[in-house]
Amino acid sequence: MCSILGLSSDRDVAPIIVDSLKKMEYRGYDSVGVAVKNESEISVKKGVGKVKDVNNDIQMDKMQGHSGIGHTRWATHGGVTVENAHPHLCNSSSIGVVHNGIIENYAELRKDLEKNHNVVFKSSTDTEVIPNLLQVYFEKSHDVKRAVMDTVQRLKGHYAFVALFKNGEMVGVRNHEPLILGIGENDLLLTSDVIGLPENFNSVVYIDNNQFVIIDDHKHKIYDFQGHAAQFAIKKIPKNYQNVTKGEYEYFTAKEIFEQPDTILVAGDEDNDYLQKIVDFIRDSDYVYVTGSGTSYHISVIAKYLFSRFAGKKVEHVMASEMKYSSRYIIPNSTLFAISQSGESADVLEAVSICKKKNAKILSMVNSKNSALARDSVFSIGLNCGPEIGVAATKSFTSQMAILYKIADKLCDGCLAVDFKTVSDAYAKMLSDTSKIQELAKAIKDIQNLFVIGRGIHYPISKEGALKIKEITYVHAEGIAGGELKHGPLALMDSSTYVIVINPDDDSYVDNISSVHEIKSREAKVIGISNKPDPSYDYWIQIPTIREDLYPLIEIIPLQLIAYYLALERKIDPDYPKNLAKSVTVK
């Protein structure tokens, strides 16, 4: 979602803020802005577009001042306009605010501020109530701490914000959205993600929920919302999480797809103890719910197939955003296994909070071990695949799946015995020559609709493949269980339709070939992803022959590549697809 930043330093902060915003852009990229405090005022520059382009136009990085705030936006309230871009100032221009999250009661607060305090609003955002409430309370008490405490009493919703006061003080406030304080030699930086920290920072404080930080004269103090001084721990910045670059690749999405021969080998590796503890928890629970959103939800569905087939353990998958509608009855002594790359998805955190209230124990699988989800769990296993910046989840998906295989293997006392080196070699082989997929992408670049079918455990892979295609190519794509074709979707097939069939040589093969014939009879074209050729395929994307139960781990690679090369053919930046952002921290 949005990224927020606040920097207090002994040098000009604007160039550093602009650099950090470029690194945090994956959280939202429809508009950007910076405000700095100089001798006499808070000045603001903002614009619509990516950080680099807006900065080229209006030189935000040339602003002068030793404290400042910055923002990249993913619009929730109000269109994508310069007026709605952050930072927002209060009416007296003495306080500037950048905000991530949603103020649920903003309409009511706006009315009150207009009626009782003559505030004139300049944007249609929910954010603008925050600097104006701060102004009202600061004018009363002339005390920043008091003004923050009074303001947060009035705000409903999940939010984090950074406020810059004209008197030089800066405040960072956290209520359910991420906020981190980075500590450098002469710098203090508030940020939504450690990725935003410049290289000279080496320690961080993860601000807890319902806490705020006041930075004054290069010193920081942390309080809870009641104003009591809070305990906090200073931690080292996790390795790999700074100076994240694209390396030799043009896009993060490509880098992350091509990293998979390495990342698959280390999935969950740092946490072997946790893996065993998670296994024990699952074994001892009367019932296990698995949840996640988007790609991580597809992993929950895979967990169901994998655990029931190999570990004799029935689990129920629940889409995180659906938990509140399906949780009236949670079986006692249950475990919720929550899966999330970011560990910050609001829907997943909500599912956790619902299940906690029903006494379920929480396990999780995350990429960021300091995320809210990891901190909310009894045990949390790390993907260990390094930061994923491309909006489309790629390497995190295969790492999540690898960890599921490891858990299933322990649950069945070693019956799976996966040699991940074989999987890594299969990845390397598929990634070493992508020319056929590039040709296919050229041939289908103008299609409007695409179907992906798979059966059994390959069904969630078909959903995942379709999700990749729709999010980075804007082609309408649907993942369908092969057997369901005849129950409706066949009506959509004609000579302009393409269907990708996930068809490894396993127990789903014969049924899939029947589906292929049904599709071909309607003149639609078939793209077969298989280790075996078949004369009915219009295109054959070959995958290596591998042990039968490992196909789910490898067949996703060509689907990721089809999505990636199709995005390039369609002139879409795969790292920043329209209307999306990574880390969906709003409900």
Which of 8, 192, 211, 296: binder of ligand F6R (CB under 6 A)? 296
Q: Does residue 348 belong to the site contacting ligand F6R (CB under 6 A)?
A: yes
Q: Which is nearer to ligand F6R, 127 or 342 (CB)?
A: 342
Q: Does residue 321 belong to the site contacting ligand F6R (CB under 6 A)?
A: no
Binding piece for ligand F6R, criterion CB under 6 A, among 71-79, 266-274, 288-296, 571-579:
288-296
Smallest separation (angstroms) from ligand F6R to the CB of 385:
12
Q: Kindly report the CA angle at 429 between 428 and 433, in degrees rounded to 5?
A: 105
Question: Which residues in 251-406 belong to E strands, given as ranges?
Answer: 287-292, 315-319, 334-340, 361-366, 379-382
* CB 23, CB 29: distance < 8 Å: no
Q: Which is nearer to ligand F6R, 256 or 271 (CB)?
A: 256
CB within 8 Å of 272: residues ≥ 6 apart: none
2 an active-site residue?
A: yes
Q: Which is nearer to ligand F6R, 364 or 424 (CB)?
A: 364
The 491-510 site mask, x for binding ligand F6R (CB under 6 A), equals: --------------------
Rounded Cα–Cα distance for residues 468 and 463 (Å): 9
Compute the Cα dihedral for 347, 353, 359, 361 and give only its sign: positive
Report how far apart, in Å, the C-alpha atoms of 216 and of each of 5, 62, 496 are.
16, 23, 64
Report how far apart, in Å, the C-alpha atoms of 525 and of each of 164, 244, 484, 508, 517 are.
58, 41, 18, 20, 10
For residue 558, is the peptide bond before it cis, meaning its omega torsion is within 30 degrees of 0? Answer: no
Query: By C-alpha distance, which of 416, 422, 437, 418 is closest to 545?
Result: 422
Structure tokens at 287: 């019932």
Q: Does residue 566 belong to the site contacting ligand F6R (CB under 6 A)?
A: no
* CB 10, CB 59: distance < 8 Å: no
Q: Does residue 257 belong to the site contacting ligand F6R (CB under 6 A)?
A: no
Q: Does residue 585 belong to the site contacting ligand F6R (CB under 6 A)?
A: no
Q: Which is nearer to ligand F6R, 31 or 291 (CB)?
A: 291
Binding piece for ligand F6R, criterion CB under 6 A, among 83-91, 128-136, 282-290, 338-346:
338-346
Smallest separation (angstroms) from ligand F6R to the CB of 427:
18
Structure tokens at 1: 């979602």
Q: Kindly report the CA angle at 202 between 585 and 259, in degrees rounded to 5?
A: 60
Rounded Cα–Cα distance for residues 506 and 288 (Å): 28
Q: Does residue 392 belong to the site contacting ligand F6R (CB under 6 A)?
A: yes
Smallest separation (angstroms) from ligand F6R to the CB of 103:
22
For ligand F6R, the nearest residue by Cβ is 294
Smallest separation (angstroms) from ligand F6R to the CB of 340:
3
Rounded Cα–Cα distance for residues 58 and 62 (Å): 9
Q: Which is nearer to ligand F6R, 27 or 88 (CB)?
A: 27
Smallest separation (angstroms) from ligand F6R to the CB of 380:
13
Half-sphere CA count of 182, side-chain side, radius 13 A: 29
Q: Does residue 294 belong to the site contacting ligand F6R (CB under 6 A)?
A: yes
Binding piece for ligand F6R, criterion CB under 6 A, among 341-349, 354-362, 376-384, 436-444:
341-349
Q: Does residue 478 belong to the site contacting ligand F6R (CB under 6 A)?
A: no
Structure tokens at 111: 């009315």
Binding piece for ligand F6R, criterion CB under 6 A, among 55-63, 92-100, 287-295, 427-435:
287-295
Q: Which is nearer to ligand F6R, 128 or 478 (CB)?
A: 478
Residue 211's CB: how many other CB atoms inside 10 A? 21
Q: Does residue 393 belong to the site contacting ligand F6R (CB under 6 A)?
A: yes
Strands 159-165 and 219-224, sheet pairing: unpaired
Which of 94, 191, 263, 293: binder of ligand F6R (CB under 6 A)? 293
442 an active-site residue?
A: no
Q: Which is nearer to ligand F6R, 84 or 342 (CB)?
A: 342
Binding piece for ligand F6R, criterion CB under 6 A, among 188-196, 213-221, 254-262, 336-344:
336-344
Smallest separation (angstroms) from ligand F6R to the CB of 143:
38
Q: Which is nearer to ligand F6R, 296 or 434 (CB)?
A: 296
| Paired residues of 42 in beta bridges | 37
Q: Does residue 471 belong to the site contacting ligand F6R (CB under 6 A)?
A: yes
Rounded Cα–Cα distance for residues 332 and 98 (Å): 43
Rounded Cα–Cα distance for residues 9 and 465 (Å): 46
Binding piece for ligand F6R, criterion CB under 6 A, among 262-270, 335-343, 448-456, 545-553:
335-343
Q: Does residue 342 belong to the site contacting ligand F6R (CB under 6 A)?
A: yes
Buried residues in 454-472 as b, exposed as e (16+ CB within 10 A) = bbbbbbbbbbbbbbbbbbb
Q: Which residue of the set 2, 90, 355, 385 is catalytic?
A: 2
Q: Does residue 341 belong to the site contacting ligand F6R (CB under 6 A)?
A: yes
Q: Does residue 132 belong to the site contacting ligand F6R (CB under 6 A)?
A: no
Q: Which residue of the set 45, 50, 525, 582 is catalytic?
A: 582
Using a 10 angstrom Cβ sphere, with 0-12 exposed, 13-18 middle and 19 or more buried, the burial of residue 77 is: middle
Q: Does residue 303 belong to the site contacting ligand F6R (CB under 6 A)?
A: no
Using a 10 angstrom Cβ sphere, with 0-12 exposed, 13-18 middle and 19 or more buried, the burial of residue 22 is: middle
Smallest separation (angstroms) from ligand F6R to the CB of 344:
7
| Binding interface with ligand F6R (CB under 6 A) | 293-296, 340-342, 345, 348, 392-393, 467, 471, 583-584
* Catalytic (active-site) positions: 2, 582
